[in-house]
Amino acid sequence: MEGVLFFLIVFSAITLWKHMGHRHRERMLELQRQRSATTTQAAALAAATEERLRHLESIVCNVDFELNSKLNRLASHQPPAALPAAARMATAGGEALPAAVPANALASGQRVGGRFVIGRTLGRPDSSVYLARDEVLGESVALRVIDGLTLASGEGVERLRADLLVTRSISHPNVVSVLDVGEAGGRLLVPMAFVAGKTLEQHVADHRPLPLAAARQLIDEVAAALAAAHAQQLVHGGLEPASVIVSQSGGRPCAVVVDLGLAFAPGRRGLIAAGGVRSSSAAYRAPECIDGAEASGASDVYGLGAVAYYCLTGEPPFAGATPIAASLAATTGALRPPEELRAELSPHWSAWLTRALAKRPDDRFADLAEARGALPGPG
C-alpha cells in the first residue's frame, strides 16, 4: 500500500512539473508574440510617422515657396509717395489710398515691346495683366507681362514659351485666345483677347447661390475649355475660380478659362516669384501637386471638381486659416459633403464631386470627357 501511495505521489509530482513546464513555455511564447507584435506595431507607427513628416515637409516646401513669392512681391512694392496718381485708389469718402502696386509695374501710357500702350491693370492691383492698346492690331488686348526670366531655368522658360505657343492654336469659345508671344526687356509679353466680365469668384459671390442649372452650365463650359486644351496635349494645372472669367454671351453668363499654358512646373519657380506666373491657391490645388508633382490631366479633373464645388456651394472644397492648413486639409482631410452647405444638391451631385475630388488621381474620372458625361442633369 505504501508503495502504491509513493508511486502516486511521484507520478503526481512529475505530472504537475510537466504541466507547470508546459504552462511556462506557453507563457514565454505568449510574451514573445506580444513583444513581436509590439515591435511590429512600433515599426508601423514609426513608418507612418516618418511618412507623415515627409508629406508635411513636402507641403511646407511647396506652400512655403508660394508664401515667399508673395512676400517678395510685397517687399518690392514702391512706397506710397513714389506711386503715380493713377496708381492710387479713392475710397467712398474721396480719400486717396495707395494701391498695392509692385515696383516693376508698368505705368499707364507706357509703351512696351514697340507696339503695346499700357492702360490699366486687370483684376487685382498687383496683377501682371494689363488692358493695353495693340498698335499693330489696332485693338485693345489683355497683355500678360511675365517677369523673372533670369530667375527661372532656361528649360523652364523655353517650355513656358512652347506651351504658350501651343495655346495660340486653341480656338474655342470657352478659352481666352492667345494672340502672340513676344519678348522685350527681359520680359515675356503675351497679348490675349480681352474678355469683359468678372472672375467666377466674383460672379459666385455676387449671385450666391447660383441656380443649379446656371452653375451646371458654367461647370460644363469650363470642362469643355479644359478638354480643348487636353486635345492639344496642354494642361491648365492651376484652375481656380480666379482663372475663369464670366462674360455675357447671348444674354446669359458664359465661362471663359484664362491662364492656359502657365501650369506650374519645377523650372518655373523663379517666374512665380517674380509675379508673372502664379500658382493656384492651395484650396483648389490637386493633392499630388501640393506634394510637388507636376500637373497632369488628372490634376485638371480635380481642378474642375474644385471649381464645381465652389460654383454649387460658394465655398472651396478644402479650406484652412493658412495655406499650409488648407494644403493639409486637401491632402489628408475628408471632403465636407456638399449637401451640408446646400441641401437641395442631389446625391448624384455629391457622388460626382466626391469622385472628381478624390485624393488619388486614379480614383477620379479617367478624363474630362467622362467627367462631362457624368454631370448631373440641369434639373
Furthest C-alpha separation in the chain: 129
Spatial separation of the C-alpha atoms in residues 193 and 251, rounded to whole Å? 20
Q: What is the pLDDT of residues 268-291, one digit of tens each?
A: 444 444 444 444 578 899 999 988
**Where in 194-306 does DSSP place strands (E)?**
198-199, 244-249, 252-257
The number of domains in the chain is: 1
The better pLDDT of the pair 35, 240 is held by 240
CA 350, distance to chain mean position in Å, is: 20
Say whether pLDDT at 245 is over 50: yes
When the pLDDT of each residue in the chain is averaged and rounded to a whole number, the result is 77
Q: What is the domain-level CATH number for residue 307?
A: 1.10.510.10
Mean pLDDT of 93-109: 55
The pLDDT, as a whole number, for residue 280 is 57
Strand order in the sheet with 244-249: 198-199, 244-249, 252-257
Domain contains 246: yes
179 found inside a domain? yes
Task: Report the percentage of the chain scoring pLDDT > 70.
Answer: 65
Task: Report phi then psi at 145, rounded to 5.
Answer: -110, 120
- Please state whether 99 falls in left (phi above 0), alpha (psi between -120 and 50) or beta: beta
Q: Of 129-143, 161-175, 187-201, which range is least confident?
A: 161-175
pTM (2 decimals)?
A: 0.72
Q: Is 160 in a helix, a strand, or coil?
A: helix
Other Cβ atoms within 10 Å of 141 Cβ, number: 22
Between CA 340 and CA 319 the distance in angstroms is 15
Least confident range of 142-151, 193-202, 326-335: 142-151
Task: Say if 122 falls within a structural domain.
Answer: yes
Does residue 199 lie in a domain region?
yes
Q: Which residue has the cell 501640393?
A: 290
Helix (H, G, I), strand (E, B) or coil at 129: strand
- Tell me the per-residue pLDDT of 309-325, one tens digit each, with 9 for 90 and over: 999 999 999 988 888 88
- DSSP type of residue 89: E
Among 354, 341, 311, 326, CA closest to 223: 311
Given a contact cutoff of 8 angstroms between Cβ atoms, the answer to whether 182 and 162 are in contact is no
Pairing mode of beta strands 116-121, 111-112: antiparallel
**Better pLDDT: 30 or 202:** 202
Whether the pLDDT of residue 253 is over 70: the answer is: yes
In the prediction, which pLDDT does 231 show? 93
Range of the domain at 368: 102-373
Q: What CA–CA distance (Å, rounded) separates 307 from 375?
A: 14
Query: Within a domain: residue 90?
Result: no
pLDDT of 104: 67
pLDDT at position 288, please?
A: 94
**For cell 460644363, what's the residue?**
220
pLDDT in tens, 14-26: 665 565 666 767 7
Nearest to 291 by CA among 135, 63, 76: 63
Query: Does an H or E element contain 191, and which?
Result: strand 187-193
- Residue 262 has what pLDDT? 72
C-beta separation of 208 from 297 below 8 A:
no
pLDDT (average), residues 51-59? 51
Who has greater pLDDT, 110 or 70? 110
Angle between helices 347-356 and 297-313 (to 10 degrees): 140
Please tell me the distance from the alpha carbon of residue 29 to that of residue 199, in angstroms, as a whole number: 68
Residues 78 and 101: beta-carbon distance below 8 Å: yes
Answer whether residue 43 is part of any domain.
Answer: no
Cα distance between residue 303 and residue 281, in whole Å: 11
CA separation for the pair 355, 339 (Å, rounded)? 15
| Strands of the sheet with 111-112, listed across from one edge | 111-112, 116-121, 129-134, 139-146, 187-193, 182-184
Mapping DSSP to helix (H, G, I), strand (E, B) and coil, where does residue 208 land?
coil
d(CA 295, CA 186) in angstroms, rounded, equals: 26
What H or E segment, with its residue span, contains residue 3?
helix 2-75
Q: Is residue 137 part of a domain?
A: yes
Q: Say if 55 falls within a structural domain.
A: no
CA gap 133, 118 in Å, rounded: 7
